[in-house]
């Protein structure tokens, strides 16, 4: 039996990476998926991958870090499928890897808005639709950087810590509406984003890129990074009936690295 039959799920940042993998996995588990991202071409591609495999999806190109964009994302779900049951706040750019004295105010606003403001706005507009449905699940894709920090990533660490705090607050506020709110805190996840960050860290520290990469792998007792599938599988579980009494949690996915 599929875990998310007939659920309507909004997934932001669905154009690539973890967001695309989650969109496809949610569809395979029976959800009707609203794929949202800024890139029209890429988010349309994600939705097409789902529909060509027999799933149900629509694409919406919008900037979830703006009020109009976040409202448009939620409206797209209601318009296409009549309701919203699930919101995955995955949108966000990691911003630059840069020493704090070189980290500009524009860097700060861009990173915090793309990661944290987008999650707040999408939650703000999705909650009334979930209340109308009689239940809901919100999952914020945070980061271990928001729990333990990471050098040269001040905006990203701050935004992800904010997502975790928002998770705790919303879980307390929304429980009476049978809406669960949880966060997933990945460690290093294979993909383009970690590759860019590792290069930035290596350049700033003056070390070899492969040696820098190895430091991330060595933190894991399992000797590997996590994958987008690992994050997506946990998100599916948290949005299923199996997790109906799990709320207000921040769950690490770190390939065994202590959180």
Alpha-carbon gap, residue 212 to 205, rounded angstroms: 9
| Cβ-contact 152, 201 below 8 angstroms | yes
Q: Could you tell me which residues are beta bridge partners of residue 35?
A: 11, 59
Is 120 marked active-site? Answer: no
Exposed, middle or buried by CB within 10 Å (0-12, 13-18, 19+), for 199?
A: middle
Here the tokens at position 8 are 């309507």
Per-residue b or e along 55-78, where b marks 16 or more CB atoms closer than 10 Å to that residue's CB: bbbbbbbbbbbeeebbbbbbbbbb
Distances (CA, A) of 9 to 76, 97, 132, 236: 11, 32, 15, 10
Q: Give the DSSP letter of residue 226.
A: B
> Which position among 103, 120, 152, 156 bears the catalytic label?
156
**Catalytic positions, please?**
156
């Amino acid at each position: 039996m599929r875990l998310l039959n007939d659920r309507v799920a909004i997934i932001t940042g669905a154009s690539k990476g973890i967001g695309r993998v989650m969109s496809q996995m949610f569809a395979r588990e029976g959800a009707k998926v609203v794929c949202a991202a800024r890139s029209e071409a890429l988010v349309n591609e994600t939705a097409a991958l789902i529909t060509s495999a027999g799933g149900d999806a629509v694409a919406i190109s919008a900037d979830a870090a703006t009020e109009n964009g976040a409202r448009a994302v939620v409206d797209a779900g209601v318009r296409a499928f009549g309701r919203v049951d699930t919101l995955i706040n995955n949108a966000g750019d990691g911003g630059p890897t840069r020493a704090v004295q070189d980290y500009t105010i524009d860097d700060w606003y861009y990173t915090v808005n793309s990661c944290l403001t987008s999650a707040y706005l999408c939650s703000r507009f999705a909650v009334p639709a979930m209340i109308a449905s009689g239940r809901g699940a919100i999952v914020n894709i945070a980061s271990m950087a928001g729990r333990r920090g990471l050098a040269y990533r001040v905006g990203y660490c701050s935004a992800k810590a904010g997502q975790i705090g928002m998770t705790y607050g919303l879980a307390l506020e929304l429980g009476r509406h049978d809406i669960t709110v949880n966060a997933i805190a990945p460690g290093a996840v294979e993909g383009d984003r970690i590759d860019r960050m590792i290069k930035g860290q290596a350049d700033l520290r003056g070390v070899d890129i492969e040696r820098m990469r190895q430091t991330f792998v060595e933190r894991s007792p399992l000797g590997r990074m996590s994958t987008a599938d690992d994050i997506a599988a946990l998100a599916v579980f948290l949005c299923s009936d199996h997790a109906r009494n799990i709320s207000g949690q921040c769950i690490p996915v770190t390939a065994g690295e202590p959180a």
